[in-house]
Each structure stands twice: as C-alpha cells, then as structure tokens.
Amino acid sequence: MSSVLYDVPGPRARLRNRVLGVVTVLVVLALIALTIWRLYATGQFSAQKWSIFSYTRIWMLILDGLWHTLSAFLVAAIGALLLGFILAVGRLSDHAWVRVPVGWIVEILRAIPVLIFMMLMYYGLPVVGVKVDPYVAVVVALVAYNGSVLAEAIRAGVESLPRGQGEAGYAIGLRKNGVLRLVLLPQAVRAMMPVIISQLVVALKDTALGFIITYPELLYVIKLLGNQITYGSPLVPAAIVGGSIYVVLCLILSYIAYRVEKSTRRSPKVRRPQGPGTGEATTMTEFIAVQKGVGKGDATSL
Amino acid sequence: MDEVAHLWWQAIEGTLILFFAGGVIALVLGVIVGAMRVSPVPIARAVGTVYVNWIRNTPLTLIMFFFAFCMPILLGQRINALILATIALGVYTATYVAETIRSGVNTVPVGQAEAARAIGLGFGQVMSLVVMPQAFRSVVPPMMSVFIALLKNTTVAAGFSVLNLGSVTAYLSEHREAQADNLFQAMVTGENQLLTLLLIAAIFVVLVLLLAWLQRVLERKWRVER
C-alpha cells in the first residue's frame, strides 16, 4: 500500500508503525480509563442516579422530547427542500430581476447564524406584537438556513451538467419549464443526493438549538431529568442516555448519505440502473462505462 | 450608557475569544486527527475515523451541554463557562479541520510523490517541496468555510451563560436603563429586542460575507492548474 505521503513500508518503517500503533492504543486506553475513573470517583455509576431510567413515565418524557425533535426535523426537512427548489429555480432564472434578488436572499440567509434567526423569531417578533411559538421559531429558522444551502447545492448540480443536456431539451421543443423540470433538475438532484442528505443531517443536529430558546426537545428533557434531586441530580447519566439517542439518529442518517454517495458514484450518471439484481456489468462496454463513472465521481467529489 | 457600551465591548470580546481560541484548538487537534487519518498506522486511522464520525454526528449544542454542565461535575470544580465553551467549539470544529486536511492531501496525485521519490528526495523533502505546497493550496479555501461555520457557531455558546454577541440581548435587558429617545438608542440598549437582534444578524452577515470574499480571492489566487 503506497500513498502520496508514504511509500510501501520496509522493515524499519514497519517496526516504527507498530510502535506508533501501540502508542496510539495506550493513549486511547489512558483517556478511556481517565473518563471511567472520573465517572466512578464522582459517583456517576451509583444505582440511585440510574434508577430514574427504570420508570415508564420517565421514558414517556424522553419519547415526548424525541417526538418534538423529530417532528421539528421532519417539517423543517420538507420545508427546506421546498424552499431549496424555489430558491434554486429563482437563482437559475434568465431574468436578472429575479436572479439577483434571490441570489442576495440566499447569501444573507446562509450568513445568519441559525440560533440568531431563532432568537429573532422568538424574542424579536413579540416586540411588534407577533407571538411566536418556539416550535415555529425552530422550524422557520431551520427551513430558512437549510433551504438556502440546499438551493446552492441544487444550483451547483444543475450548473455542473453538460450544456448539451439543456440544449437537447430545447431542441426537442421543450420550454424553459420543461427543460428544467424534466431534464436538468432530475439529473442535478440525483448527482447532489449525498449533499442533500448530509444537509438534512445538519438540520437534524440543529434542532438541538431549540433547547436554547426553550423548545421542549430531547436536550431540554435531558436537562429536566438531570435536575431531579430525588434521584441525586443524574445530569451525567441523562446526558449519556440522551446523547446516545441523538448520535444514533444522526449516524443512521449519515450512513444513508454514505450509501447513497457510494451508489451514485458507482452508477454511470447519465443512465439509470436497469433494476435491482443486475449488479454485474454484462458487456465490456458497460464495464468501461462503469469504470469511467467511478473515475469521474472521484475527480469531482473532492 | 457607559454600562451598555461596556456590555457590547465584552460581548464582542467574548465572540472574538471563542472564535480565535476555538480556532487554535480546532487547528491543533484537527491537524493531529487529520494526520492520524492519513497515517500508515491502521490503528491510528481507526481512532481518527471513530473520533471524526462520532463528533460530527453529535449536535454542537449537545457537546457544549456536556462541557458546560457535565464537565464541572466530573472534575469536581467550577470552571469558567467561556473556557468550557471554547474547548467544546474546538473539539467540534477539529473534526471538520481534520476532514479538510485529509481531502486536501488526497487531491495530490500519487504520481507527484512517486516522481519526487524517484529523483532521490527524502521523506522530509518530498513533504516540504512537493506534497505540502500542493496540498496547502487545495486546503486553504475549504478551510475558510470551516472557519466561517466556526464564527457562526460561536453564537451557540449564548445558551450556556457565556456573554457573546449571541447572548448580548439577554444581558442588555437585565441592565434596562431610562427610556430610549430614538430608535437607534432603543436598538443599542436592547430596549427594542427586534432591532437589537437584527443588528447582531447584520454584524454576522457582514463578517461572513467578508470572510467569503477573502475565500474567493484566495481560491482564485491559489487555484492548482492540473
């Protein structure tokens, strides 16, 4: 195995690598031991602190928080996709009076920190007499931010297509609407699918910001449980349990993104796969096409 | 009015400390993890991968929550909230720095290093003369995106009792003074929270657009022709 950074290791390099490996393992073990020692020394493993998780009512609370997180995420994801398409189409418009203002809107929405947007809705709007629910504030802020990022992704996808695609569409008599809707967007979305899904992971992660503006999502429930004095304020156990739920949710979504990216890279961009089960390339030409697809994907996906 | 100016100054100071100190932690930790991710030691690669995938799939709010609330319990002493938030930001951003470095190194074709070795350059020379100059150019523009994200993420510390631009509105409202005479005063003193928050949003938009402009300039200057 050779890379840009190092050659195929010889005997001395192999020995050195082995030593470095042992050192890494030791450092990691030391860190884990330190964490466990601190957890143990401060009594985080005591039965009293964990007993809170043996009640159905507590789990109902956690599920309630999880539901708030997921409902905000789902609505925000759908909204962000819709806004993304609208803004992307606006930025691709031939009319400067549409393209330029939409471009500015996208730039500004991307530049405002999501938390500031949420605060603007939750603390700012009541000044002019509009009472905003924390749920609405979370969803609108997430839609605005992720929608503008998705718009950029979709636009980049459309602009990366060969010019011939659009021209062929016009040549067979499609209008602007048809060219964009039937020819360019499907291909752009397909190519940009991994980016779109990773942005949805960002949206899921950012629902946790709702905690700061008192939206009762998972983190809020964790804090609530952590302050129960009757159970010895189990803040650390609650954070471990709730944090694991968050990480697992995001990991699942990231894994989907990873799988989609792998399959997009493997399949040639122009042709859709014939159907499930025809995994092996049958002819030499197809084989070469598949290989080319791999090469192209590698070159563009940085 | 002095009180208000003092608060604003402290808020700006808080944001700057979070940004620069968090950035330094992220760079140091990120370079170490990035080096582990491209190292010839399989175990180091595995550790780097686990760290990056784990932290990247954890919300920043949760990491800050852990540092702000759980760390003092675990260490058994009170720690400055600003320091904890800065470390949390650094730990979170380090994963993005590591990924940027890894993909930057991977954009250098293997043939470059092979050719350098073939003409007899040693490891240090291959790195300093051939690989790093090319990797550096393709790392800097995406690294700017990482720092733009870091700048926006400093606001998350507002939820964990750190005075910065994200939380200055709340602090201002505690120091309510005499009635503001005009809209500008209402905005600066936090009398009108909507205007204050709009001002903060505008500050961030200007800063982010400035950094994005710098990024475009660097990108144009350092584009690698292949």
Residue A1 lies in a domain: no
Concatenated DSSP letters of A12-32: HHHHHHHHHHHHHHHHHHHHH
Domain coordinates of chain B in residue numbers?
2-164
Residue of B nearest to A6 (CA): B40
Q: Is the CB of A9 less than 8 angstroms away from the CB of B41?
A: no
Q: Residues A107-144: pLDDT tens digits? A: 999 999 999 999 999 988 888 888 889 999 999 999 99
Q: Which of A116, A130, A149 to mutate to test the interface with B (most CBs of B within 10 A)?
A: A116
Which amino acid makes up residue A84? G
Number of domains into which chain A is organized: 2
Q: A187-214 burial by CB neighbour count: b if 16+ within 10 A, else e?
A: bbbebbbbbbbbbbbbbbbbbbbbbbbe
Q: What is the dihedral of CA A184, A186, A192, A194, to 10 degrees?
A: -170
Q: Flag whether residue A172 sits within 8 Å of chain B, measured between CB atoms.
A: no
Q: Specify the pLDDT at position B210.
A: 92
User: What is the value of ipTM here, to two decimals?
Assistant: 0.89
Residue A100 lies in a domain: yes
Domain co-membership, A111 together with A32: no
Q: Which of B64, B65, B147, B167 to mutate to test the interface with A (most CBs of A within 10 A)?
A: B65
Residue A184 lies in a domain: yes
Q: Which of A36, A115, A199, A214 to mutate to test the interface with B (most CBs of B within 10 A)?
A: A115
Residue A289 lies in a domain: no
- pTM, entire model: 0.85
Q: What angle do CA B88, B90, B95 make, to 5 degrees?
A: 105
Residue A180 has pLDDT above 70, yes or no: yes
Residue of A nearest to B42 (CA): A21
Domain co-membership, A127 together with A25: no
Domain co-membership, A90 together with A21: no
Beta strands in chain B (DSSP E): none
What residue numbers bound the domain in which A36 lies?
11-41
Q: Is the CB of B159 less than 8 angstroms away from the CB of A111?
A: no
Residue A100 has pLDDT above 60, yes or no: yes
Whether A21 and B42 have beta carbons less than 8 Å apart is answered as yes
- Main-chain dihedrals φ then ψ at residue B76, nearest 5 degrees: 70, 25
Whether A204 and A245 have beta carbons less than 8 Å apart is answered as no
Whether A119 and B155 have beta carbons less than 8 Å apart is answered as no
Tokens 């890494």 label which residue?
A24
Q: Is the CB of A42 less than 8 angstroms away from the CB of B76?
A: yes
Concatenated DSSP letters of B22-76: HHHHHHHHHHHHHHHHTSS-HHHHHHHHHHHHHHHTS-HHHHHHIIIIIHHHHHT
Nearest to A239 among B65, B113, B123 (CB): B65
Rounded CA separation B185/B24 (Å):
36
Residue A176 lies in a domain: yes
How big is the A-B interface in CB pairs under 8 Å? 167
Domain co-membership, A60 together with A36: no
Domain co-membership, A16 together with A80: no
Domain co-membership, A252 together with A157: yes
Q: Residues B32-77: pLDDT tens digits? A: 999 888 888 889 999 999 999 999 999 999 999 999 988 888 888 8
Whether A194 and A264 have beta carbons less than 8 Å apart is answered as yes
* Percent of chain B scoring above 90 in pLDDT: 43
Residue A26 lies in a domain: yes
Tokens 């796969």 label which residue?
A273
Which chain A residues contact residue B131 at CB under 8 A? 4-5
Q: Specify the pLDDT at position B111.
A: 87
Name the CATH superfamily housing domain B2-164.
MetI-like (1.10.3720.10)
Rounded CA separation B82/B31 (Å):
24
Q: Residues B188-200: pLDDT tens digits? A: 777 788 888 999 9
Residue A18 lies in a domain: yes
Instruction: Indicate which CATH number applies to the domain containing A63.
Output: 1.10.3720.10
Residue A298 lies in a domain: no
